[in-house]
Amino acid sequence: VQQTYIMIKPDGVQRGLVGEIISRFEHKGFTLKGLKLFQCPTELAEEHYRDLKSKSFFPKLVKYITSGPVVCMAWEGPGIVAAARKLIGATNPLQAEPGTIRGDLAIQVGRNVVHGSDSQENGQREVALWFKDGELCEWTQEITPWLRE
């Protein structure tokens, strides 16, 4: 089963959108494997967004992500990496479809409330980057037969 790293960014926490965003993933039927409120250090933000290092907005991005606590989550489910990106919507919230998290809850790319891994490889990489051994929970979601035949 695929895993992905979802993170509610500092604006989502400050705006009180934590419950709303978690609900979107819960209601869809995915399985929560890890969850914590966390003040991200600069080095971790830089490592997480290392592919964007050359972009002009990189310093602003690191400042944004470290500007307050984030909610770190590991979610699991079939096809979850692509499905989570669909639930989240386009990077620019003004281009994100209504019904998506960014489409419903944000107006600017520099304050787009949530992150989702963009590939299976990055899903694995980011879950390992943000969670220590023992922070993820192995559990049986008893409603699984009502979600998957």
Among 53, 60, 63, 86, which residue sits at the site for ligand GTP (rule: CB under 6 A)? 60
61 touching ligand GTP, by CB under 6 A: yes
* Size, binding site for ligand GTP by CB under 6 A: 11
Give the largest Cα separation in the chain, rounded. 48
Let me know: does 9 contact 115? Beta carbons within 8 Å: yes
Catalytic choice (115, 126, 130, 131) = 115
> Taking CB under 5 A as the criterion, which residues in 101-130 touch Mg ion?
118
39 vs 53 by CB, closer to ligand GTP: 53
- Residue 112 known to bind ligand: yes
In angstroms, the Cα distances linking 53 to 20, 46, 57, 79, 127 are: 31, 8, 9, 28, 20
116 touching ligand GTP, by CB under 6 A: yes
Among 110, 120, 125, 141, which residue sits at the site for ligand GTP (rule: CB under 6 A)? 110
Task: Count Cβ neighbours within 10 Å for each residue of 58-90 and write b for 16 or more, e otherwise.
Answer: eeebbebbbeebbbbbbbbbeebbebbbebbbe
Let me know: does 118 contact 40? Beta carbons within 8 Å: no
**Span of 31-39, 55-63, 76-84, 126-134 interacting with ligand GTP by CB under 6 A:** 55-63
- Point out which residues bind Mg ion (CB under 5 A): 118
- Catalytic positions, please? 115
